[in-house]
Amino acid sequence: MSNKEIEKVHLLIIGSGPAGYTAAIYAARANMKPVLYQGIQPGGQLTITTEVENYPGYPEGIQGPEMMINFEKQAVRMGADIRYGMATKVDFSVQPYRVEIDEENWIEADAVIISTGASAKWLGIESEQRLNGFGVSACAVCDGFFFRGKEVAIVGAGDTAAEEALYLSKLCTHVHMIVRRDAMRASKVMQDRVLNAPNITVYWNSETDEILGEHKVEGVRIKNTKDNTTQDVAIGGFFVAIGHKPNSDIFKGFIDMDETGYIKTIPGTSKTNLEGVFAAGDVQDKNYRQAVTAAGSGCMAALDAERYLSTKA
């Protein structure tokens, strides 16, 4: 690593969903001259969401990709340096911190905000990807509203799946819950609520064989893994709730994480175990995972970074 290869920046933001863009807006207004790298999916998970109806300030709703374009434009107008590129390696053992971009260029930063998000885990079947956004969703809280009055299916067996099944049961006429084993991983209280809900049917020892429909979800073929029989169930929406994976692998060994890879922050702040390194959005939030909470934590990270940098100045 020769010095001529290293660009020096004051504040580096890694990732570009609501958290990263909000951090960039606040940081640019505070004259921190932030540089933001957008990562593999500019705009984050919202770019694969169609209608967003629960973000305050949009009474008619807004398309997810359009919303992220607006966030980016606002950050640029404030003076943020938004760039294409992906962080591929970090060296947080020395200060200023070093981050490699696209496996070729190194950047040194006085402070870093990590807002790399989390990615939904998918089943990996062709019809799931083809119908994603056309009745297939990985967020019942985000998209359940569009299926009110319809029958839907959900796959998963943990607390999130149980919570989302119950949420859907209040909006939808019937919820078909597909569980791979003969038991759920969800807590006992959540299981009891699911099993006592009159409009939730649980399919034990079952998996999704196929999501049916050409241009939108029209049904699901459920396969019983004990006897290999299948049955087709007519539905209008299909929800995947088998978990999320935080995009935090490159920070392992430097940043404290929980057992599933979510970055640990000091409660009530965006601070990590390293001074001058902050985390915001879904990479550190496994409870809420909403655009509005991600944006709020991006604001916190920028304010925390500003205070840190001003003490170092």
Confidence (pLDDT) at 2: 46
Assess contact for 195 and 182: CB atoms under 8 A: no
> Pseudo-torsion of CA 232, 139, 72, 75, nearest 10°?
180
The catalytic position among 81, 102, 139, 299 is: 139
pTM of the model: 0.81
Active-site annotation holder among 81, 91, 102, 142: 142
Q: Is 142 a catalytic residue?
A: yes
Average pLDDT score over residue span 217-245: 96
> In angstroms, rounded to a whole number, what is the distance separating the alpha carbons of residues 304 and 298?
10
pLDDT tens digit string along 80-125? 999 999 999 999 999 999 999 999 999 999 999 999 999 889 999 9
Choice among 81, 91, 102, 143 that is catalytic: 143
Could you give all domains of the chain from N- to C-terminal order, each with its CATH number?
Answer: 3-119+244-312 (3.50.50.60), 122-240 (3.50.50.60)
- How far apart CA 149 and CA 173 sit, in angstroms, is 5
Contact between residue 272 and residue 255 where contact means Cβ atoms under 8 Å apart? yes
Q: Are the beta carbons of 295 and 93 closer than 8 angstroms?
A: no
pLDDT at 50 over 80: no
